[in-house]
Chains A and B, each alone.
Chain A
Amino acid sequence: MTTPVLELRSVDKSFGPIDVLHKISLKVRAGEVLCLLGDNGAGKSTLIKTLAGVHKPTRGQILMDGKEVSFDRPRDAQDMGIATVHQFGGTFPLMSIGRSFFVGAEPTKGWGPFKIYDRKKANEIAVKAVQDFGITRVDDGDRLIGGLSGGERQSLAIARAVHFGARVLILDEPTAALGVKQAAHVLRIVKEAQRRGLAVIFITHQVMHAMAVGDHFAVLIRGAVAADFVKGQKSREEITDLMAGGETMADLEAQISSDLATADGHPSPATL
């Protein structure tokens, strides 16, 4: 089997006395989508921030291509090919598509003090990169990021990461704020990134979205990996139950109806 692009071995993360992550061990290979599922507060964001170089692990190892790595700042992780796309994708709403695509890596032409930003080239490359991902509605690199839909912004951010040679793509709840159609859009792009051989870590708490693209799933509960399984091993209900922390959906329904029953003093209707 191939060496995982990225691997976590027994990673702990504490903020002072607060232990947020416990003994997290995970692997993701090239061309594989790892879905990280978990309820709010489970530690998903903390985990990806640790991978992105925002936090340093308190204990444990991060390995890339089998070799241990350590990131002092987000830039280090980026230089190693780990790209993180945050929930709202483009973070420069008032910048043009071309300009924000190349922020910090602007293409220039000319010489010496007269080196100018190559707007035409930047726009062409940016527009082409997004269109290659199937977003044909984006055709003008001068448009502002803030004028794009949430899905288009996510797509642009993913296209950007791929363009700049990312090997690992981390997506923090990219579909959370999106409507059904937009979310489908983003999921298609996740598949496309995977097809291009990227290792994708896809964070979500929507089981449907995870099942649509995931090869490998990990459920995080209170900072620990509660389950780790591959596609086809568990049904949607089982995953949902896992995320709810062992309580099954059936338990939850029973709980709710008994609450209702005691609340208004009537016996719960047996048939609904």
Chain B
Amino acid sequence: MTNLSIGNLLRRPEAGAFLGMLAVILFFLVFGGVNFLKPAGIASWLNVAANIGIIAIPVGLLMIAGELDISIGSMIPAGSMIVAILSGHYELPMWISILAVLGFGAIIGTINGLLVVRTAVPSLIVTLGTLFAVAGMVLGLSVLITGTTSVAIKAPALYKAIFGQFIGGTYQVLILWWVAVSVVSVFYVHYTKYGNWIFALGGDRESARNAGIPTTRVTITLFILSACSASFVGMCQAILFNSAQVSAGMSYIFNVIISVVVGGVVLTGGFGSVVGIVFGTITFAVVNQGIYFTGFDRNWSSLIIGVMLLAAVLMNNTFRHMALNYAPKKK
């Protein structure tokens, strides 16, 4: 069938991301040896990928819809601190903490979404504001309530098993969550009408609204998803490591955006795919961790990531161009 032709594969948004991922894996196989594809090696980058990946998907969807959310950088520690303070410090039942973590994500997501929809302020600036506001609030409240910036939490076995354990001693259970989020997202984004709405939103907001798409609702929902994904990851990290830190999370802003862009999402919106974002996340994690398997100094990984990001942006343009100009050969 034509669906399997090279042209059809290459015009998919994840084509570049897939090739990039192969290139990077090959690079570290050559310079780092096979260790990095053995179980312990795989765990090292898969764990990193899962933590980033759960957030990268909703953030990537926002980018496809033409928006950006950098407040995730403080939503991660917010999630950690909420569960640690409520269930660690106050010893409340875990389900209350989980509701509070997701509820807080929903509130901040709604605020981000409403501000972006109601004002003409770009989402980068709006979420820069909430990034700092939430960071300040989390720090202030933690010190006020617990007197420190690092709070211990000992989750019951059941909750640890679901949200924060090492399967077989090496694989974070978060990997399974990432797979689940990916599968559900692929379904909703590429196989239902809702996905179509997201792409239309990123293509042209005005036309999308005129076509009857509830643009405000879609935008706010996406912001809620990204805020909740970040607070969820933060919560799982606290449960896994039995403690929460106020300051963990800012590096995620860059890591997530790099993963999304390397995954083939076009910065101006309207083009991208969930599978591409997953490939981009793996690529990022492999570079980030693969360096330990080589003889190179760790600092070089930033260089590789930087070059990779630039290459990805250029490649995205090329692939988008190919996708635009692709026409099936006449028989």
Contacts and interface: CB of A to CB of B under 8 A. Distances in A.
Q: Do A and B bind each other?
A: yes
Contacts, number: 84
A94 interface: yes
B199 A92 contact: yes
Interface stretch (A96-104, A127-135, A167-175): A96-104
A108 interface: yes
Task: Report which residue of A92, A117, A139, A143 has the largest number of chain B beta carbons within 10 angstroms of its beta carbon.
Answer: A92
Interface in B196-242: 196-197, 199-200, 203-204, 206-213
Contacts of A99: 196, 199
A140 B327 CA distance: 8
A103 B191 contact: no
Interface stretch (B49-57, B77-85, B88-96, B318-326): B318-326
A163 interface: no
B203 A95 contact: yes
Given A92-B203, A94-B271, A95-B200, A103 B325 contact: no
A147 B212 contact: no
Contacts of A142: 8
B266 interface: yes
A91 B204 contact: yes
Interface in B280-331: 320, 323-328
Nearest to B322: A147
Interface residues of B, number: 31
B193 interface: yes
Contact of A117 (B192, B266, B326): B192
Give chain A's interface secondary structure class.
loop
Interface in A134-160: 139-140, 142-144, 146-147
A81 interface: no
Contact of B323 (A100, A106, A139, A144): A144
Which of A74, A95, A104, A144 has the most chain B CB atoms closer than 10 A to its own CB? A104
Interface string A70-93: 000011001000000000000111
Contact of B212 (A93, A104, A117): A104
Interface of B: 8, 11, 187, 191-193, 195-197, 199-200, 203-204, 206-213, 266, 270-271, 320, 323-328
29 contacts: A74-B209, A91-B203, A91-B204, A92-B203, A92-B270, A93-B203, A94-B270, A94-B271, A94-B323, A100-B203, A102-B196, A103-B197, A103-B200, A103-B211, A104-B211, A108-B193, A115-B193, A117-B191, A117-B192, A117-B195, A117-B196, A139-B328, A140-B327, A142-B8, A143-B328, A144-B324, A146-B324, A147-B324, A147-B326
